[in-house]
Structure 1
Amino acid sequence: MEYIKNFNVRNDRNLTMLVDFYELTMGNAYLENDLGNKIAYFDMFFRRVPDGGGYCIMAGIQQLIEYLTNLSFTHDDIEYLRSKAIFSEEFLNYLENFKFSCDVWAVPEGNPVFPNEPLVTVRGPILQAQFVETMVLLSINHQTLIASKANRICRAADGRTVMEFGSRRAQGYDGAIYGARAAMIGGCNSTACTIAEQMFGVPSSGTMAHSWVQLFPTEYDAFKAWAKVYPDNCTFLVDTYNVLKSGIPNAIKVFDEVLKPQGFRPKGIRIDSGDITYLTKKCREALDEAGYNDVKIIVSNSLDEYIIDSVLRQGAPIDGFGVGERLITAKSEPVFGGVYKLVAIEDGDNIVPRIKISENEEKITNPGFKKIYRIFDKDTDKAIADLITLHDENIENEESLMLFDPVYTWKKKKIKNFYAKELMVQIFDKGNLVYDSPTVTEIKKIVDEETEKLWHEVLRFENPHNYYVDLSTKLWSLKHNLINKYSNIYMENK
């Protein structure tokens, strides 16, 4: 197995092989049973918003596109699989000549999304549609989780600068890179991850570490040396020794002695420890008294939306936040929980729905080939609800619409004076990319525009209003007919 010994994990990895092993064993079995080309439909969706929130921010489509456009098996991949001695030569030959040919639809990045609605739908030969499961889930789960967390944090900051500082705490280098991308989508103003700027065109930022201050004989010497190098972009980290007795006095001294005589204004100070509210208030007083009321106060140190909201409510005069580990890992709830389920197959020209039944109501899937409409009030331009329909339904020209809770069906609302927007767009057509991905900056703009269309009650952190995701009458009837059909089988076998 020399090919394994020579394998350079970082540089030679083929992401085509980033699959759960059962996707390969099932693929082999599909061929063995002459089912490999059976057309199937899979939905990727999630069941619950992390952190008890009211919404999530869709992200990860660009990385999914990159994966799907580069699907191919190398000679070493085939030899490795052959060495397992469980795959047929027919299957290995299929992989050797693999060409992705599925249709893919998805909700574009930056849109608010909600539980139980399809974020990605894949249609194609079941061997292929099943095979891409892991990367569909990995790409969307990770980035949607981080983008959603970042959006909560940025909303807590209430317009103040938020810098993503999480690279060194991320779960591996891909977690750092794509976490930074997702954080920028969610609303962060910059990232400490330099490669993210290089790859995605987003601004990177950073100042100094405590090691810079520790290197010099005194804190004053450290600040003075920094100011000489960066006079037009000078921010000091003031908590290496003592913020109020050392850091701030030395910072002001260097502002006065080095920057002001040269005609430069300092940019800011950063505090990375201690009682944030108390220290920022005292620092603001000292800076203002010295004539530096334009100097920004930046804070960091294990921040999240709850801490940010709390210190701002206490009156902390903070201009910006550096947020790291609790953002890049979504520490409070680090699993998004998206799933990928078979919802239909084709039998000739007919689409035959499939459903998963469970004693746990939330795990019963919505069957069939579907699409999503977002329903808006024409007067307020606010989103009223999302409506999941079957693919052949069209509600855009309806004059009125009856919405009802899919579980508590007696909860109904007839709406008029609305407009409907179809959310999902086609990404691939028979394996060919038919979608132009927006830039991260453009996606950030989508986030701002679309979250403003949600009621503030949906956006709040604690006990948010439940945003309604309803089923059309046709889809609801299909689902319950299938439930009744399979519940009869269940009862017969009890």
Structure 2
Amino acid sequence: MQGKGLFTDLYELTMAQAYLENNKVGRAVFSLFVRKLPENRNFLVSCGLEPLIEALGEFKFGSEELRYLKSLNMFKDWFLDYLEQYQFRGNLYAIREGMIVLQNEPLIQIEGSLPEVQILETLVINIVHYNTLVASKSARCYLASKGKALVDFGLRRAHGLDAGLYGARACYITGFTGTSNLCAGRKYAIPVFGTMAHSFVMVFEEEEEAFRAFARSFPDKTVFLIDTYNTFEGAKKALKLLREGIRVVGVRVDSGDLLEECVKVKELFQREGFWDIRIVVSGGLDEEDIHKLVSNGAPVDIFGVGTKVLTSADAPYLDIAYKLVEYEGKPKFKLSPGKQTFPYKRQVIRHYENGLMCYDEVIPYREGGLVELVFKEGNLTKPLPTLEEIRETFFNELSKLPEELKSISKKRDYNVLLKEV
């Protein structure tokens, strides 16, 4: 029997054994929050709750995991028996996925027996950190695109297969049209997109021959990659097929001066009366590139983005922490310089002015705010929202975001007030 209990750090288990030996098993609350936003982020997008809940159900210690832990000669048999029976039975509070979040706001709060919730630290940070990181990056791409379609192409350079899966989901939540990732398409019912690679074109003796072969195989989904040798010449070959009556949906450009190339290609098709040919661009794009192309009127219909988004290249990590904030009803907090924490389980109250976010208050927990009870005593309190509902939450949140916070080039601060009582 296998579980996923070893997806944790060693010290989570050494602390848990010591807690149990010293009878430190009282009610504890841990809070996951971002201390400070990256310099090039005005906001974050909460993401990863559903993947976390899925992982919690699989976070168990099977016979293989227990055999390995025993081989370390660190853990006592009674503690291994405890792990064999481990299952999350506590409470989980969260800000819904798709919501705009800021510094010092508790994305996730976990409450339960101290050893039980301590063990979950690494798992919670890993999943929510990455999902929120990518959702926040892809949201900037959505803002920059000004309504143009976006497709996630990032699986091949994501930092692992799970990262590619989570990344595709985060991108779809934040406005992307679809993904190239078939696993994400199946698991999350995200629309899937894809054309061809340069290798397909190079296999054939002539570029035109490659185009004809692809059109025969996919007559209703014919999109040609036209920059293998010369973008404009590739476009002319696509035009030749169009004149013959072959249905071409679009062309993709993956290199060169994308603005210049797209303008020339669009003009070529329009001169011949083919106004509906869609232009797809790709090749290491992020929100800065998209903003530049859109601002300069590039005739682009679809942006394929991947590497820089799924790795969040300009801000590859968040200053995120999972900290003890309450034990046996008493406040717990750090006073370390630059790493101070705030005590107690918390609620976030958001204030609006003229329908737009004005400032937030982070207060001791009470019902009625952004933070909701998701798990009670190890069980869901209600069904999780669908991916489409989460996506709508994000769109609704953007409608309430002040324009200055939507800037992808200028840093703007949003006021978050921490209140003790």
The interval holding the TM-score normalised by the smaller chain is over 0.9
Q: Which structure: larger Rg?
A: 1
Deviation at 1:322, TM superposition (A): 0.4
1:241 maps to 2:217 = no
In structure 2, the residue matched to 1:382 is 356
In structure 2, the residue matched to 1:30 is 19
* Residue correspondence of structure 1 range 131-170 to structure 2 within 5 A: 131-170=119-158
1:14 maps to 2:13 = no
- 1-side partners of 2:65 and 2:79: how far apart? 13
Tell me if the contact between 1:141 and 1:337 (Cα under 8 Å) persists in the aligned partners: no
In structure 2, the residue matched to 1:459 is 406
Tell me if the contact between 2:153 and 2:304 (Cα under 8 Å) persists in the aligned partners: yes
In structure 2, the residue matched to 1:311 is 293
SS where residue 5 of structure 2 aligns? helix
1:112 maps to 2:88 = no
Deviation at 1:51, TM superposition (A): 5.1
The one-letter code sitting in structure 1 at the alignment partner of 2:382 is Y
Q: TM-score, normalised by structure 2?
A: 0.97
Match of 2:337 among 338, 345, 359: 359
* Residue correspondence of structure 1 range 86-485 to structure 2 within 5 A: 86-244=74-232, 246-259=233-246, 264=247, 266-346=248-328, 351-360=329-338, 363-377=339-353, 380-392=354-366, 422-472=369-419, 474-475=420-421
Alignment coverage as a number of residue pairs: 421
Residue by residue, what CA displacement relative to the aligned partner does 1:249-272 show, whole Å, maximum 9, x if unpaired? 10000111142xxxx4x2111000
Deviation at 1:108, TM superposition (A): 0.8
Residue by residue, what CA displacement relative to the aligned partner does 1:126-145 show, whole Å, maximum 9, x if unpaired? 10110000111011000000
Tell me if the contact between 2:281 and 2:304 (Cα under 8 Å) persists in the aligned partners: yes
In structure 2, the residue matched to 1:408 is none
Residue by residue, what CA displacement relative to the aligned partner does 1:166-188 show, whole Å, maximum 9, x if unpaired? 11111111111111111111221
- 2-side partners of 1:315 and 1:98: how far apart? 57
Q: 1:13 to 1:92 in 2, by over 3 A?
A: closer
Tell me if the contact between 2:139 and 2:174 (Cα under 8 Å) persists in the aligned partners: yes
Deviation at 1:313, TM superposition (A): 2.1
- 1-side partners of 2:133 and 2:7: how far apart? 20
The one-letter code sitting in structure 1 at the alignment partner of 2:275 is N
SS where residue 348 of structure 2 aligns? strand
SS where residue 207 of structure 1 aligns? coil
Deviation at 1:369, TM superposition (A): 1.9
- 2-side partners of 1:437 and 1:51: how far apart? 33
Residue by residue, what CA displacement relative to the aligned partner does 1:424-469 show, whole Å, maximum 9, x if unpaired? 1111111122232222222111101111101111111122331111
Q: Which moved more, 1:179-188 or 1:45-54?
A: 45-54
Q: Give the percent of matched residue pairs that are identical in Structure 1 and Structure 2.
A: 36
Residue by residue, what CA displacement relative to the aligned partner does 1:102-152 show, whole Å, maximum 9, x if unpaired? 111000100010011111111111101100001110110000001111110
In structure 2, the residue matched to 1:47 is 35
In structure 2, the residue matched to 1:60 is 48
Residue by residue, what CA displacement relative to the aligned partner does 1:339-396 show, whole Å, maximum 9, x if unpaired? 10011111xxxx2101100222xx211111211111123xx2211111111124x7xx
Residue by residue, what CA displacement relative to the aligned partner does 1:216-259 show, whole Å, maximum 9, x if unpaired? 12111111122222222221111011011x20110000111142
Residue by residue, what CA displacement relative to the aligned partner does 1:20-41 show, whole Å, maximum 9, x if unpaired? 1000000111111111x21111
Across the aligned residues of Structure 1 and Structure 2, the Cα RMSD in angstroms comes to 1.5
In structure 1, the residue matched to 2:61 is 73
Tell me if the contact between 2:28 and 2:114 (Cα under 8 Å) persists in the aligned partners: yes
Deviation at 1:50, TM superposition (A): 3.2
- 2-side partners of 1:431 and 1:311: how far apart? 48
Deviation at 1:308, TM superposition (A): 1.1
Q: Which moved more, 1:150-159 or 1:48-57?
A: 48-57
Deviation at 1:72, TM superposition (A): 2.2
Residue by residue, what CA displacement relative to the aligned partner does 1:308-330 show, whole Å, maximum 9, x if unpaired? 11122222211111001001111
- 2-side partners of 1:213 and 1:391: how far apart? 60
Tell me if the contact between 2:37 and 2:319 (Cα under 8 Å) persists in the aligned partners: no
Higher relative contact order (CA 8 A, sep 6+): 2
SS where residue 64 of structure 1 aligns? helix
Deviation at 1:13, TM superposition (A): 5.9
- 2-side partners of 1:45 and 1:234: how far apart? 46
Tell me if the contact between 1:353 and 1:369 (Cα under 8 Å) persists in the aligned partners: no
- 2-side partners of 1:388 and 1:439: how far apart? 27
The one-letter code sitting in structure 1 at the alignment partner of 2:240 is K
Stretches of structure 2 that go unaligned for 5 or more consecutive residues are none
- 2-side partners of 1:457 and 1:470: how far apart? 19
In structure 2, the residue matched to 1:418 is none
The one-letter code sitting in structure 2 at the alignment partner of 1:320 is I
Moved segments of 4+, more than 4 Å: none
- 2-side partners of 1:85 and 1:435: how far apart? 42
Tell me if the contact between 1:228 and 1:258 (Cα under 8 Å) persists in the aligned partners: no
The one-letter code sitting in structure 1 at the alignment partner of 2:384 is S
- 2-side partners of 1:13 and 1:464: how far apart? 47
The one-letter code sitting in structure 1 at the alignment partner of 2:237 is N
- 1-side partners of 2:399 and 2:277: how far apart? 31
The one-letter code sitting in structure 1 at the alignment partner of 2:27 is I
SS where residue 17 of structure 1 aligns? coil
SS where residue 262 of structure 2 aligns? helix
Tell me if the contact between 2:39 and 2:411 (Cα under 8 Å) persists in the aligned partners: no
